[in-house]
Amino acid sequence: MNIIDEIGILALSTRLQRLSEQLRKDGALIYKSFDIDFEPKWFPVIYTLHVKEMLSVVEIAVEIGYSHPSTISLLKELEKQKIVSSKKDKLDERKRLIVLTAKGKELILKMQPVWSVMNDALNEIADNQNNLLKAIEEAELKLAKQSFFQRVSDLKS
């Protein structure tokens, strides 16, 4: 056990980042092992467009819970890879609508069986996944109501 593990809740952000990095790294290896050229960081956008089909940049950002600039950065990467394309909204020319390309849809078909296997493996890792997901959801809801910074500021006063 290292110092970060010993600190407990004070290192929550560090431990979540460590877990996230491990899952992303292994995710990349998993896709590669299935001969799929895919970056795990693209997953939320790809999956959202798979389900919702056509969304604006703002709508994608809201769906995945990322900032507008982060979403734009991901979309630029995906457009460069020809996985998504954009077109102007006929009703509002300022708005760009994002869709999966034929290459993106083909990629989804290749990844769906992989997602199934990944889901099974994640269920093994998070033995009681409902508790883990509920804890994450609860923390996200509480932080949406009052940020970590605001809570510390209130306690400091």
Predicted confidence at residue 11, as pLDDT, reads 80
Whole-model pTM?
Answer: 0.80
**Whole-number Cα distances in Å, 120 to 46, 60, 153:** 20, 27, 42
Predicted confidence at residue 129, as pLDDT, reads 54
What is the C-alpha separation between 115 and 108, in angstroms, rounded?
Answer: 10
Predicted confidence at residue 128, as pLDDT, reads 58
**Ranges in the chain, pLDDT < 50:** none
> How many other C-beta atoms are found inside a 10 Å radius of the C-beta of residue 84?
23
pLDDT tens digits, 88-123? 877 777 778 999 999 999 999 999 999 999 988 888
Complete edge-to-edge strand list for the sheet that includes strand 84-88: 54-56, 96-100, 84-88
Predicted confidence at residue 23, as pLDDT, reads 92
Predicted confidence at residue 15, as pLDDT, reads 85
Predicted confidence at residue 93, as pLDDT, reads 73
